[in-house]
Amino acid sequence: WKLGGLYVTGEVDNVERGPCRLFREHPNILASKYKPPERLKNQWHSIVSTLWGSDIWAVGCVMYESFNGMVNNPDDFLKSNNIPPFLRKVYVKMLSSNPDERPDAKTLYENQGFQRAFKNR
């Protein structure tokens, strides 16, 4: 897998206009399987209220594929197969259907399970 392009998971111009020009002109720039529920439903107001929410979703997808291999069915992301037990709680929060419940980057960084898995590697 390749980590890249996460900066385009949910950029918006504003709530009224919805997605930024990049998404309006190239709606498939990000594979559907990596799009959070609010992107799939075009609920751009959810993305604006929690700016990091769709990015955290995408990082959760990358985390899943790191431990499980490539996913064909996006519903697989909602399972915690092969996610180490010390990461499962934060992983489930990262893929919450409510973007307001997803942790921000600082919270992830400070999470003991996340630090155990990724810090100083």
Coil, helix or strand at residue 48? helix
What is the reported pTM? Answer: 0.74
Reported as half-sphere exposure (CB side, CA atoms, 13 A), residue 1 has a value of 15
Taking only the tens place, the pLDDT of each residue in 32-88 is 788 888 877 777 666 656 777 888 898 899 899 989 999 988 889 988 889 999 999
**CA-closest candidate to residue 91, choices 52, 49, 118, 59:** 59
Asked if 54 contacts 10 with a C-beta cutoff of 8 angstroms, the reply is: yes
Q: What is the pLDDT, as a whole number, of residue 102?
A: 92
